[in-house]
Chain A
Amino acid sequence: MMALGETGGAAMSQLRPSIDRYATGRVNANPEAHGITGSAEYDDEVRSRAVYSVEAGLSFFHTHAEGLGLILFFTSTLVASVVAGRRVRAALYVVLTAGSLFPLGYLVYGASVLELGREAGIELAERWVLMPLGSAALAGLTALAVCLAARARAASRPSPP
């Protein structure tokens, strides 16, 4: 995920004109989805909003991929160190790893904005990718916090004489 994040950041910087050209081309190829009317001034505004959304998607992908890669690294290390039950540990790995795929939602966001239009594209990415994977990350982190709290509580109990 971190390698993807780094590569995405570099691509964003080096290929910006090509990405903008491609995005503008896709908007023109999907005029109905974007509500292109034929009025030059309005259409330019629609195109620039769509291109801006794609750039925002790529930028969020870059920052979130770097961040969630690190979060997965540190939280899974905590799980390995602190959580005793094998099944609980395995479940936490699965949920946290699914959560670390959350940044891919921003790639879907960028692509679906171009193909389906801004509102429908954002809704699709949010409903089917960002929300489920983000919820997985939240669930994994909350469960890990509960495990840590349980362990801290157990450690603070006085040992029997």
Chain B
Amino acid sequence: MTEKSAWRLPPVWVLLVAVVLIVCAEVGGASMSRFKIELTRWARGTMLTHPAVHGLVGVRDVDERILDEALVKFDAGLRLFHMHAEGMGLVIIATTTVAATLVRTAPARPLIISLLTVGGSCYPLGYLLWAGLIPYVGLERGKAIAEWLVWIPFGGATIVALWWLAGVVALGLVRR
């Protein structure tokens, strides 16, 4: 394979971040399964210590329904972290490899690679944050915090970088 046709590796720190993210996803998935009961017990216990946040009224029939819904979302947050961390680890490796190979201009290449890496690796943490916040601040407030602190800035960075990369690759094809 010639130098021109070979993939160029992104910086090692990028690959390290991607691999660590995939490891975190694996550990998260395994922990979710192994400590399911403990996690559910912790979330339920914490929610019971914050009754006003969850709208608990002290009537068992009503409260159980509210707690069940919150626990389903808590579990969903953990599962979405597991899935997104696995996926984004691979997305970081693939897209930064494309950027390292096909983006020729010096300021654009490191910027795209940094946006893809930081955006892609931090975005899944939003699901972990959301799951962790649910017992303390409730479903909607937890979601809003995760959205503004993590999903919008880091997801936005990934989207901007991906479209930028797509534009650069398309431009390269047109100029060929």
Contact = CB atoms under 8 A, between A and B. Distances in A.
A126 interface: no
B5 A80 contact: yes
B87 A6 contact: no
Contact of B159 (A6, A69, A73): A6
Q: What is the size category of the interface that chain A forms with chain B?
A: 10 to 19
Q: Could you tell me the dominant secondary structure of chain B's interface residues?
A: helix
Q: Could you tell me the dominant secondary structure of chain A's interface residues?
A: helix
Contacts of A67: 87
B166 A3 contact: yes
Interface string B134-176: 0000000000000000010001101100110110000000000
B90 interface: yes
A37 B5 CA distance: 61
A81 B1 contact: yes
Interface in B85-119: 87, 90-91, 94-95, 97-98
A70 interface: yes
Contact of A6 (B5, B90, B162): B162
A66 B155 contact: no
Given A2-B162, A3-B163, A10 B87 contact: no
B5 A7 contact: no
B155 A6 contact: yes
Interface in A1-39: 2-3, 6-7, 9-10, 13
Chain B CB count within 10 A is highest, among A2, A9, A74, for: A2
A48 interface: no
Given A3-B165, A70-B94, 10 more contacts: A2-B95, A3-B166, A10-B155, A10-B159, A13-B151, A67-B87, A70-B90, A73-B97, A73-B98, A81-B1
Interface of A: 2-3, 6-7, 9-10, 13, 66-67, 69-70, 73-74, 77, 80-81
30 contacts: A2-B91, A2-B94, A2-B95, A2-B162, A3-B159, A3-B162, A3-B163, A3-B165, A3-B166, A6-B158, A7-B159, A7-B163, A10-B155, A10-B156, A10-B159, A13-B151, A66-B87, A66-B91, A67-B87, A69-B91, A69-B94, A70-B87, A70-B90, A70-B91, A70-B94, A73-B94, A73-B98, A74-B94, A80-B1, A81-B1
